[in-house]
Amino acid sequence: MKLPVMSVRGVSKEFGPGVRVLDHVDFEVVKGETLVLIGESGSGKTTLLRMFNGLTHPSSGDVRIHDKPVRIQDPINLRRRVGYVQQDAGLLPHWTVEENVGLVPLLLGWESEQRTSRVHALLNLVHLDPQQFRARYPIELSGGQRQRVAFARALAADPGIVLLDEPFGALDAITRHELQRQFLSLKQRLNKTMVMVTHDVDEALQLGDRIAVLKEGRLLQIGTPVDLLNAPVHDYVVQLLRHRSHGVFS
Amino acid sequence: MTKSLHSVYLRTLMILMLLLPLPAFSQEDRIVVGSKNFMENKLLAEIFAQLIEARTNLSVERRLGLAGTQVCFEALRTGAIDLYPEYTGTGLVSILKQPPTGDPRTALNVVRAEFLQRWDLWWLNPLGFENAYALAVPRSRTAGIPLRTISDLVKIAPSLTGGFGYEFINRPDGLPGLEIRYGLAFQRVQAMQQSLKYQAAAAGEIDVLDVYTTDGRLAVYDFVVLEDDLHFFPPYEASGLIRGSTLAEHPELGAVLGLLTHAFDDKTMRHLNYRLQEGGEPPDVVARDALSALHLFTSDAAGTRPVSHQEGLFAYMWSKRTDLGGRIIEHLTLAGLALGLGILLAVPLGLLLERQQAIAEPVIRGIGLTQTIPSIALLAFMIPVFGIGMLPAVIALWMYSLFPIVRNTYSGLRDAAPQAVEAARALGMTEWQILHWVRLPLAAPVIMAGIRTAGVITVGTTTLAAFIGAGGLGVPIVAGLQMANTTVILSGALPAAALALVIDGVLGQVETWLRPRGV
Ligand SMILES: Nc1ncnc2c1ncn2[C@@H]1O[C@H](COP(=O)(O)OP(=O)(O)OP(=O)(O)O)[C@@H](O)[C@H]1O
Ligand SMILES: [Mg+2]
């Protein structure tokens, strides 16, 4: 069995007394897989995701990356090695597309030409024409374009791990499908270890190698889409899967 | 080794010697004459100043129009000024806080002895007139009633409205004492600005007013000045009040100023005041004439043109353009220094507070308290510590400028695009990089808006600097208020308002420039 790239061991999180957001969560993410965290709003998905780059720490239990607790790693170094796509893209409004995408390379001290060529390659990767888009500001982009830029930014320094918080969240169905399709083809090419948050069961079934179902801070089930469809262990999982619009294998 | 050390030492010493004696030398042959912010006092100060200039080798620096007794006295006591005209009654009651006495000789002897002993301040010989309080009633209001003394007034007072100056209402030797001594009670008492009382009385809005016995307007307005038959009002003999150390250094001052002993009686003074108040003549011209009339020096008969009330505002401002230009420069220097220093402290402080959220609110609220201190009071607080002139004015204005800048810097940084800050942190920016690349650029317009607010406040408040002798556009405003001359007031107020607009516009432009693209 492969060594886990990330592991979550007995993680609980409380924001103040009695406000338990995560409750004894355990799972692992292995190299090259895409794990999807699914759950309804407020179930603790973002909180859990932010533990992988040290933006939040567990109240108890520990989160490890390459078997080293996140808590004892230098957060700045860690974050530069872990790609992150925020729930709302989180682009710097006063920086151009080129500057936004080149952010982590800049922090890592890359030369200017090296940065530029990397930015151009990434914009092409996410299907944005560099000539047309590199000098634009986020406000001059559509929602879908912003998400692509955020995705390109997360990949800029070629991190082994990418964290995505509802990357296709606030988009119309068509754009969403288009981006999901592109993501799928990229995923195969890039061979990254990814954790993606969503509350959309179709997206989870389509993009996840494995799916972890969260409800009120507890991990109900984790497994491949086939596992979940064939052997749901919880009523909530059954209910959740009933909401899908079409079967993955249909 | 020893030699080089020696030369460094020597050089330092030489630089120090060059720097240190400068203030000492410049002060040595210079007498600073101060005055309060009303016409007669300014005139007397001007008379002192011109006489010293004419009869000694000393040069004179004028700090005229300081805000009231407390400011003048503090300035004298602390050595910020050497000499100013004072009244024995004021010395006795306002400064010594002693009960008023009816006898002029006793009053003079008491203040002389006390001031010498406590502060080594010398009362020179009286100038010969008294500027005492009196009550007056427009003659039209006395029809049919025999009204000659304050005792006569007591009987009809319950049906009358009194209009009195703020100081008169509050001083123990003013209205409160008067009410007790005479059993006087008005139907209504209205607090009024000095210069408005006369018009209000003539218009019938008030029936009784407090006047000064040497007020020039008593010659024009038909008022009955009531006799103080119970001798309540203390004597207010005018005299020079001078520092003992100044007299010791320049003994000739005593002799020269002694030339003015009993030189002016009430009538002469009223006439001189009339020229200032109603004729709008500047104190230096009237002072020159007064001294010429005494044959204390020969007049050049140059004379500045008096300001008539009818003269066009812009013609007047044009005729005063050199003076006003200088005032504008003074004004901008004061406001600019204060604002510059304000930015230097407040922006870094705002940055610091953003990193120390726990103490931020209390600190900002504390600084906010400065805004609640009335500006004139803040200026007055400065005097015992920093004397008068530019330094205390800049410090006071600087304190006013802090709050809007600190508040905006702090809240601008704290609230700057939280999603962008979160992303920057998540991608591995250090806190300093976040501050430098994200928070500061995004907060810049908010910070600049704070600076802009502070700039406008500062330019406006700088008009008050005139009260502590710091110059600026407040000088014509204050002078105009005393002369009740709108033209003179506007000659200061208009440029001040224009400056505030210009500063607002310029800083607004800077704000636009600083707004990052994409926001
Ligand atoms: N800093 C915080 N302080 C207090 N409560 C918090 C904090 N952050 C999150 N929470 C709470 O924790 C719970 C889980 O939040 P989280 O953002 O992880 O939910 P989520 O599953 O990502 O929801 P969504 O799908 O709406 O993004 C919510 O009830 C939220 O209010
Ligand atoms: Mg979330």
Query: Closest Cα partner for B63 from B91, B84, B38, B94?
Result: B84
User: Domain containing B46 — which CATH number?
Assistant: 3.40.190.10
The answer to the question of residue B274 being in a domain is yes
Most confident segment among A185-189, B193-197, B506-510, B515-519: B506-510
A153 Cα to chain B: minimum distance (Å): 9
Using the 3D structure, point to which of B167, B196, B225 is the last residue of a domain.
B225
Q: What's chain A's Rg over C-alpha atoms?
A: 18
What is the model's pLDDT at position B15?
A: 44
Helix, strand or coil for residue A20? strand
Q: B384-393 burial, b for 16+ CB within 10 Å, e for fewer?
A: eebbbbbbbb
Which residue's CA is the closest to the ligand 1 atom numbered 29?
A: A42
The answer to the question of residue B109 being in a domain is yes
What average pLDDT score do residues A207-234 get? 93
What average pLDDT score do residues B330-342 get? 94
Which residue's CA is the closest to the ligand 1 atom numbered 6?
A: A15
Q: Do B119 and B162 sit in the same domain of this protein?
A: no
Query: Closest Cα partner for B341 from B261, B399, B270, B275?
Result: B399
CA distance A87 to A91: 11
The answer to whether the CB atoms of A137 and B518 lie below 8 A apart is yes
Closest residue in A to B430 (Cα–Cα): A76
Q: Do B220 and B246 sit in the same domain of this protein?
A: no
CA distance B344 to A58: 42
State the residue for tokens 């809007």.
B404
Q: Do A214 and A173 sit in the same domain of this protein?
A: yes
- Strand-pair partners of B162: B189, B208
A104 Cα to chain B: minimum distance (Å): 7
pLDDT band at B85 (very low <50, low <70, confident <90, very high): very high
Q: Do A118 and A137 sit in the same domain of this protein?
A: yes
Domain containing B509 equals 321-514
What is the model's pLDDT at position B298?
A: 55
Query: Closest Cα partner for B282 from B479, B477, B467?
Result: B479
Most confident segment among A179-193, B115-129, B477-491: B115-129
CA distance A91 to A167: 13
Is the model's pLDDT at B23 over the cut of 70? no
Q: B444-483 burial, b for 16+ CB within 10 Å, e for fewer?
A: bbbbbbbbbbbbbbbbbbbbbbbbbbbbbbbbbbbbbbbb
CA distance B296 to B48: 11
B429 Cα to chain A: minimum distance (Å): 7
Taking all residues of chain A, what is their mean pLDDT, rounded to a whole number? 91
Q: Do A135 and A222 sit in the same domain of this protein?
A: no
Q: Do B159 and B202 sit in the same domain of this protein?
A: yes
- Establish if A153 touches chain B: CB-CB under 8 angstroms: yes
Strand order in the sheet with B208-212: B188-191, B161-164, B208-212, B133-138, B223-225
Query: Closest Cα partner for B411 from B434, B437, B436, B445?
Result: B445
Over residues B159-217, the pLDDT tens digits come to 899 999 887 888 777 899 899 999 999 998 888 877 778 888 888 888 999 988 898 88
Number of domains in chain B: 3
Is the model's pLDDT at B2 over the cut of 70? no
Query: Closest Cα partner for A208 from A179, A178, A228?
Result: A228
The sign of the dihedral angle between the CA atoms of B94, B98, B99, B103 is negative
| CB A164 within 8 Å of CB A54 | no
Is the model's pLDDT at A30 over the cut of 50? yes
The model's pTM: 0.67
Using the 3D structure, point to which of A135, A159, A183 is the last residue of a domain.
A159
- Chain B neighbors of A103, CB-CB under 8 A: 424, 427, 429
pLDDT band at B395 (very low <50, low <70, confident <90, very high): very high
Q: Do A35 and A77 sit in the same domain of this protein?
A: yes
The answer to the question of residue A235 being in a domain is yes
The HSE-up count of residue B140 (CA atoms within 13 Å, CB side) is: 9
Burial of A172 (0-12, 13-18, 19+ CB in 10 A): exposed
The answer to whether the CB atoms of B518 and A80 lie below 8 A apart is no
| CB B134 within 8 Å of CB B212 | yes
Q: Do A149 and A205 sit in the same domain of this protein?
A: no
| CB B434 within 8 Å of CB B424 | yes
Is the model's pLDDT at B301 over the cut of 90? no
Contacts of B362 (CB under 8 A, 6+ apart): none
Question: In Å, what is the CA distance from B356 to each residue of B333, B424, B505?
Answer: 34, 20, 34
Burial of B273 (0-12, 13-18, 19+ CB in 10 A): buried
| CB B243 within 8 Å of CB B83 | yes
Q: How many CB atoms lie within 10 A of CB B87?
A: 28
Q: Do A151 and A168 sit in the same domain of this protein?
A: no
The answer to the question of residue B24 being in a domain is no
What average pLDDT score do residues A4-26 get? 92
Is the model's pLDDT at A217 over the cut of 60? yes
Helix, strand or coil for residue B185? coil
- Chain B neighbors of A84, CB-CB under 8 A: 423, 426-427
Q: How far is the CA of A43 from the centre of ligand 1 (A)?
A: 7
Q: Do A109 and A132 sit in the same domain of this protein?
A: yes
Give the percent of chain B with pLDDT over 70: 91
Contacts of A129 (CB under 8 A, 6+ apart): A123
What average pLDDT score do residues B225-250 get? 90
What ligand is nearest to the CA atom of residue A50? Answer: 1
The answer to the question of residue A113 being in a domain is yes
| CB A207 within 8 Å of CB A38 | no
User: Domain containing A174 — which CATH number?
Assistant: 3.40.50.300
Residue from A46, A56, A59, A195 whose mutation best tests the ligand 1 pocket (most atoms within 8 A of CB): A46
The sign of the dihedral angle between the CA atoms of B11, B12, B14, B15 is positive
The answer to the question of residue A86 being in a domain is no
State the residue for tokens 């692509």.
A148
Structure tokens at B291: 């001294």
- Establish if A57 touches chain B: CB-CB under 8 angstroms: no
The answer to the question of residue A45 being in a domain is yes
- Chain B neighbors of A77, CB-CB under 8 A: 428
B355 Cα to chain A: minimum distance (Å): 18
Is the model's pLDDT at B311 over the cut of 60? yes
Using the 3D structure, point to which of A136, A159, A182 is the last residue of a domain.
A159
Nearest 5°: CA angle at B198, between B197 and B202?
Answer: 115
Q: Do A186 and A250 sit in the same domain of this protein?
A: yes
pLDDT band at B25 (very low <50, low <70, confident <90, very high): very low
Does ligand 1 have an atom closer than 6 angstroms to the CB of A46? Answer: yes
State the residue for tokens 């300093």.
B432
The answer to whether the CB atoms of A93 and B427 lie below 8 A apart is no
The HSE-up count of residue A14 (CA atoms within 13 Å, CB side) is: 9
CA distance B398 to B395: 5
Q: How far apart are the first and last CA of chain A?
A: 31
What is the model's pLDDT at position A246?
A: 57
Q: How far is the CA of A44 from the centre of ligand 1 (A)?
A: 6
CA distance B367 to B137: 48
What average pLDDT score do residues B337-365 get? 92
User: Domain containing B176 — which CATH number?
Assistant: 3.40.190.120
Helices within chain A (DSSP H only): 45-49, 75-81, 97-101, 103-107, 112-125, 130-133, 143-155, 173-190, 201-207, 225-230, 235-242
Is the model's pLDDT at B304 over the cut of 70? no
Number of domains in chain A: 2
pLDDT band at B303 (very low <50, low <70, confident <90, very high): very low
Q: Which has the higher per-residue pLDDT, B289 or B67?
A: B289
Q: Do A98 and A192 sit in the same domain of this protein?
A: no
Q: Do B144 and B242 sit in the same domain of this protein?
A: no
The answer to the question of residue A188 being in a domain is yes
- Chain A neighbors of B442, CB-CB under 8 A: 93-94
What is the model's pLDDT at position B141?
A: 81
Q: Which amino acid would we find at residue B195?
A: S
Helix, strand or coil for residue B143? coil
Q: Do B325 and B397 sit in the same domain of this protein?
A: yes
Q: Do A73 and A114 sit in the same domain of this protein?
A: no
Pairing assessment for the beta strands B223-225 and B238-243 based on DSSP bridges: unpaired
What average pLDDT score do residues A212-216 get? 94
Of A139-148, B185-194, B249-258, give the lowest mean pLDDT range: B185-194
Q: What is the ipTM of this complex?
A: 0.91
- Chain A neighbors of B419, CB-CB under 8 A: 86, 88, 90
Over residues B422-467, the pLDDT tens digits come to 999 999 999 999 999 999 999 999 999 999 999 999 999 999 888 8
What is the model's pLDDT at position B6?
A: 47
CA distance B34 to A24: 80
Q: How far apart are the first and last CA of chain B?
A: 61
The answer to the question of residue B469 being in a domain is yes
Using the 3D structure, point to which of B283, B306, B329 is the last residue of a domain.
B306
Domain containing A39 equals 1-81+160-250
Q: What's B94's DSSP letter?
A: I
Angle between helices B440-461 and B486-514 (to 10 degrees): 170
Most confident segment among A101-105, A178-182, B96-100, B475-479: A101-105
pLDDT band at A2 (very low <50, low <70, confident <90, very high): low
CA distance B141 to B185: 17
What is the model's pLDDT at position B21?
A: 34
Q: How far is the CA of A234 from the centre of ligand 1 (A)?
A: 23
Nearest by CB to B426, from A86, A93, A139: name it: A86
Q: Which amino acid would we find at residue B498?
A: A
- Establish if A91 touches chain B: CB-CB under 8 angstroms: yes
Nearest by CB to A93, from B420, B427, B437: name it: B420
Structure tokens at B405: 């800048």
CA distance B56 to B257: 10
What average pLDDT score do residues A60-88 get? 93
Over residues B110-140, the pLDDT tens digits come to 999 999 999 999 999 999 998 888 899 998 8
Query: Closest Cα partner for B470 from B383, B370, B374, B340?
Result: B383
CA distance A242 to A80: 39
Is the model's pLDDT at B5 over the cut of 50? no
| CB B60 within 8 Å of CB B49 | yes
